[in-house]
Amino acid sequence: MTAEETVTGVDAAGGRPVVPARGAQRPLGLAEVGVTGGFWAELQATNAGATLEHCESWMERLGWLANFDRVASGTTGPERPGWSFSDSEVYKLVEAAAWEYGRTGAPSADAMVRRLTARIAAAQDADGYLSTCYGHGGQDARYSDLETGHELYNTGHLLQAAVARLRTTGADPLVDVARRAADHVCAEFGPDGRQGVCGHPEIEVGLAEFGRALGAGRYVEQARLFLDRRGRGILRDIPLGRAYFQDDVPVREATVFRGHAVRALYLSAGAVDVAVDLGDDDLLGAVARQWDHTVERRTYLTGGMGSRHQDEGFGEDWELPADRAYCETCAGVASVMVSWRLYLATGDVRYADLMERTFYNVVATSPRSDGRAFFYANPLHQRTAAGVGDDDTVSPRAEGGTRAAWFDVSCCPTNVARTLASWQAYAASSGPRELTLLQYAPARIATGFDDGGVLAIEVDTAYPADGTVTVRVADAPAHAVMLRLRVPPWAGGAVLSEGGRTTVVAPGFAVVDRPLVPGEQIRLVLPVAPRLTWPDRRVDAVRGCVAVERGPLVLCAESVDLPAAVTLDDLLVDPSAPPVPHDDGAMLRTAGGDDIVLIPYHRWAERGPSAMRIWLPSR
């Protein structure tokens, strides 16, 4: 450990996944935000009670964990189970368990981190290199396939797992393993080392956040080196083109996210980290412009990103087919990572708006209600009902129509797990004298201000089923503070009641700026009635169709709700008849005068295989 690195007890970051060196907003961590009930608490409980164990069990069963044991015992060979990136799934599971321990203090989560860390540490080489696929007996040489080998990608996820452990526990063997791995990367790929980049970005965001957590600027600088090398044709060209790797155009010169969606978004998250910490406003502005273009023209109604199956990538502008939408779950997680970093840097509410859309309609859609099966791809139209899934079989296909217990490429279950375990860390932010609520859930929130004052609140809401959000002040400084509540862009006519006054507030932030009194209540009412949404006329695939949303939820029609003689292909809705509430979904009138039931998209395929569509033809 150098003089610039200190680890004493729990990191001062208090359980925050992202801690920028500067920015318009400060993130709140697991120690400051506690979700006490509702939609997200249920998902978190299922994640903790089922998904973590489920993921570990499958990785044990398939030999992905034993890969580490074989390296440690010197018994590696050419036959190795799992893809070259299977190590990363172990690291993401460790990260999820670390956040879960920080969130709840559950001994089982801590025990998972410790037993997995022991196997990981035993496989690390003396110089810090860590891989179960390269560099050992019967395997290809280290870094002999930067295009598809994923060695640096895996290391990036190791570093993010170490960040989670450091910020929830403090000094830990996992942090030591990660530091040695990061030092190896810096020695191997530094200014005087290999002038290479990884075919799958991730090392950049891992290095940047690990450097922040340790106060080690050299790791952030190494992330900058990787970013500056990207886009200069370093990687071998492939039939899909160098855009697949984002190695076709330098990051600063790109105008839109392109190529493989997860790769593009992980790279952009790392670029924001580097830009913020090094004060590179030009780089930050470049990523912000790419986000603008992508969200306007290459993003689905659900917040999903990536319209092409062939490269798991972004299509061209307005190329957004509903039935062939790929919308990988991991791309949704990565989109949240980018938007969160841009929000913290700028304070622009649009980034939090997209996060909400993606949380409810991509992240929450992937896991089955029992937490033991997942969607990899998230199409907006399933033309025919899929077969019944087999929970005891590995699915070889990302697409399907039923959630699979495990995949041949199983990046999405662990990505969902780590996101849900840390969800409340994205729910609020603060400034020198303000607290901002970004995502709504029953919660207790307490944060300190620069002057030493503390604001503590309790949030009560049934959101998204109901649009009323009630904030009770538990503790507050004697002087004026600012409480801001996000008003989504769809919430025209929202009403704020506080201090004996009731006002209509526009989308953006509803602001209370005055001394707050312990015991008082502030209420925001968001209109969550079902509404019709029309596509941009330039999206050819859904021209002439209409969708229905209810609050932050995208709704869909599912074949199991249709009369026996009616199929989704027969549907033609009457847009002159507004949708009406029905349970947590809606009823919509057809052109023939009948009503059809629409349910939240995140619940589709929970009642068995079905056909489904979000965009409905209208007369």
How do beta strands 481-487 and 443-448 pair? unpaired
* Distance between start and end Cα atoms, the chain: 68
Phi, psi of 71 (to 5 degrees): -65, -45
Same domain, 509 and 589: no
| Domain endpoint, select from 492, 507, 525 | 525
Question: What value, to the nearest 5°, has the Cα angle with vertex 501 and ends 499 and 505?
Answer: 110
Which of helix, strand or coil describes residue 201? Answer: coil
| Domain endpoint, select from 485, 502, 525 | 525
Same domain, 503 and 586: no
How do beta strands 501-505 and 494-498 pair? antiparallel
Same domain, 546 and 607: yes
For the range 103-110, what are the long-range contacts, defined as Cβ-Cβ under 8 Å and sequence gap of 24 or more?
103/15, 103/30, 103/44, 103/421, 103/422, 103/424, 104/48, 106/48, 109/48, 109/52, 110/169
Q: Which residues of 25-44 are buried (b: 16+ CB within 10 A; e: fewer)?
A: bbbbbbbbbbbeebbbbebb
Q: What is the DSSP string of 511-531?
A: EEEE---TT-EEEEE----EE
Same domain, 540 and 503: no
Q: Is residue 288 part of a domain?
A: no
Question: What value, to the nearest 5°, has the Cα angle with vertex 375 and ends 372 and 377?
Answer: 160
| Strand partners of residue 445 | 33, 457
| CA atoms of 156 and 270, how far apart (whole Å) | 11
Q: Is residue 491 part of a domain?
A: yes
Torsion of CA 378, 382, 386, 392, to 10 degrees: 10
Same domain, 434 and 518: yes
Q: What is the pLDDT of residues 260-276, one digit of tens each?
A: 999 999 999 999 999 99
| DSSP designation for 73 | H
Same domain, 514 and 538: no
Cβ proximity of 238 and 147 under 8 Å: yes
CATH number of the domain where residue 513 is located: 2.60.40
Same domain, 515 and 574: no
How do beta strands 508-514 and 481-487 pair? antiparallel
Task: Output the 3-class SS for 122-151.
Answer: HCCCCCCCCCCCCCCCCCCCCCCCCCCCCH
Q: What is the pLDDT of residues 432-470, one digit of tens each?
A: 999 999 999 999 999 999 888 999 999 999 999 999 999
Q: Is residue 563 part of a domain?
A: yes
Cis link prior to 464 (omega < 30° from 0)? yes
Same domain, 515 and 535: no
Cβ proximity of 171 and 203 under 8 Å: no
Number of folded domains in the chain? 2
Cβ proximity of 259 and 244 under 8 Å: yes
Q: What is the mean pLDDT of each run of 10 residues along the chain (619 residues)?
A: 38 80 96 97 98 98 98 96 97 98 97 98 98 97 97 98 97 97 98 96 98 97 98 95 96 97 98 98 98 98 96 97 96 98 98 98 98 97 89 85 94 97 98 96 95 94 98 96 98 96 98 97 98 97 97 97 86 93 95 93 94 94
Burial class (CB in 10 A: 0-12, 13-18, 19+), 298: buried
Largest CA distance in the chain: 75
Same domain, 436 and 466: yes
Q: Is residue 451 part of a domain?
A: yes
What does the pLDDT read at residue 10? 41
Q: Is residue 253 part of a domain?
A: no
Q: Is residue 322 part of a domain?
A: no
Q: What is the pLDDT of residues 388-437, one digit of tens each?
A: 888 999 998 777 789 999 999 999 999 999 999 999 999 999 999 999 99
Same domain, 593 and 506: no
What does the pLDDT read at residue 183? 98
Using alpha carbons, select from 273, 151, 165, 252 the residue that is nearest to residue 200.
151
Which of helix, strand or coil describes residue 235? Answer: coil
| Domain endpoint, select from 491, 525, 559 | 525
Q: Is residue 222 part of a domain?
A: no
Same domain, 534 and 590: yes
Both structure tokens of 45: 């409980």
Q: Is residue 545 part of a domain?
A: yes
Range(s) of the domain holding residue 464: 428-525
Same domain, 605 and 576: yes
